[in-house]
Amino acid sequence: MSIMVPSTTPALITPGRQALDSALHQLDQAAAHLGLDDGLRTMLATPRRSLTVSVPVRREDGRLDVVQGFRVQHNVSRGPAKGGLRFHPTTDLDEVTALAMWMTWKCALVGIPYGGAKGGVAVDPAGLTTRELERLTRRYVSEIMPLIGPEKDIPAPDVGTDEQTMAWIMDTYSVSAGYSVPGVVTGKPTTLGGSLGRTGATSRGVQIAALAALGRSPEGVTVAVQGFGKVGALAAQYLSDAGCKVVAVSDVTGAVHAAGGLDVARLRAYAAETGGVRGFHHADALDRDDLLELDVDVLVPAAMEGAITEANAARVRARLIVEGANGPTTPEADEILAAAGTTVVPDILANAGGVIVSYLEWVQNMQAYSWSSGEVEIKLRDLMLGAFADVRSLAAERGLTLRQAAHVIGVGRVAEAHQMRGLYP
């Protein structure tokens, strides 16, 4: 039996619905492999809590806008819910639900004691002033306040949010509590209890996963990175530092290509100054979507969901795809890639470095103690490589793709937690 969950937008196949369909398909496959009964499968397919809020924002010119916000706690059977907060114009409840579900499997896969959550606000942050963004963030937080807390649900940065957003959330929550509560969010500035190593943690994890999957010297290995934001830019930097040749990157403004390799540090400085990679003098311009089809060794999608679909998967020439983004490859594309012998290191493994160091940040906050960057890096590496080894050996043993194996492990651990806890009442 396949899992049916009603859509919030039944008449439209939105990007969010596509993401949720992908997540449910992956769960379905893992549940069938594990032989889970229908009741438990439905439990795992449905979020424990979903909250939709209307967030009023006072604009600088006095106008009042109202935007939709969401917070979904997909699962809390292994610990508090954990997951990022996204500010993006097309985000909706389906997308946030899919992202929350992937967080559940990711935390279980890397063995950290969290369930999965996600938040979203349907807004384009680039269209708001800093003061408008602050008001929006604080009001959204006050609307979802009953759900969050260091023992309940801990937000972190995702697309369109950053350390500053987390600082405003921590302050709003703390003012309401009457004392400072650093553990309510992760990805904070270090002055407020943020962990050393958190800023680049997702990208460092992508680098660790890519090098482990390559299994050979990275020297001269060619790489293309889609998305040059928090994850993509530092993933490009760390892969370049390791000896790879990053030949192309893209962001919403466009794509740039240099067959001899990009100077990633220079490009990061350029993008920070101009707002994007487009127009970088030391490279050729490239069509944004053509980046995915370049003849490179490694492709790192680090932008949004649904980048590699049945429409372009057959033209992807990279032999190794390392998913910095969540949900960049649809199930149909997965089948095409698997048939072509392309290795895909799946999102719930490849980008888990972010939530691993978020967990380390939260542990430090709960102990009012801080670790050196070296200690954080060692713990991150151990957890990433441990999970990578588990996934690779299960895939080899059972003839599964890395995505299927990762889901079998993640879903299996959450199912086991449900079975051990039993059902109340």
Given 70, 140, 228, 388, the residue binding ligand NAD (CB under 6 A): 228
By C-beta, is 40 or 363 nearer to ligand NAD? Answer: 363
Cα→Cα distances 159→116, 125, 179, 392, Å: 17, 10, 29, 29
410's tokens: 């993640």
Helix (H, G, I), strand (E, B) or coil at 289: helix
Where is the binding site for substrate, in residues?
A: 82, 106, 358
Side-chain-facing half-sphere of 99: CA atoms under 13 Å: 33
Tell me the closest approach of the beta carbon of residue 304 to ligand NAD, in angstroms.
Answer: 5
Q: Which amino acid is at 354?
A: G
Tell me the closest approach of the beta carbon of residue 203 to ligand NAD, in angstroms.
Answer: 8
Within 342-371, the residues that bind ligand NAD by CB under 6 A are: 351, 354
Given 23, 166, 213, 231, the residue binding ligand NAD (CB under 6 A): 231
Residue among 96, 111, 40, 100 at smallest CA distance from 76: 100
By C-beta, is 146 or 279 nearer to ligand NAD? Answer: 279
Residue among 359, 375, 355 at smallest CA distance from 367: 359
Of 49-57, 89-97, 250-258, 329-337: span binding ligand NAD (CB under 6 A): 250-258
Q: Which amino acid is at 268?
A: R
- The Cα–Cα gap between 187 and 198 comes to 6
Of 26-34, 128-136, 324-332, 383-391: span binding ligand NAD (CB under 6 A): 324-332
Secondary element (H or E) of residue 411 = helix 402-421
Q: Is 245 a catalytic residue?
A: no
Helix (H, G, I), strand (E, B) or coil at 335: helix
Given 120, 157, 218, 306, the residue binding ligand NAD (CB under 6 A): 157
Q: Is 29 in contact with 407 (CB distance < 8 Å)? A: yes
Tell me the closest approach of the beta carbon of residue 226 to ligand NAD, in angstroms.
Answer: 5
For position 189 contacting ligand NAD by CB under 6 A, the verdict is no
Terminal CA-CA length for the chain: 27
Of 35-43, 170-178, 296-304, 385-393: span binding ligand NAD (CB under 6 A): 296-304
Binding residues for ligand NAD, rule: CB under 6 A, are 157-160, 202, 226-232, 250-252, 288, 302-304, 324-326, 351, 354
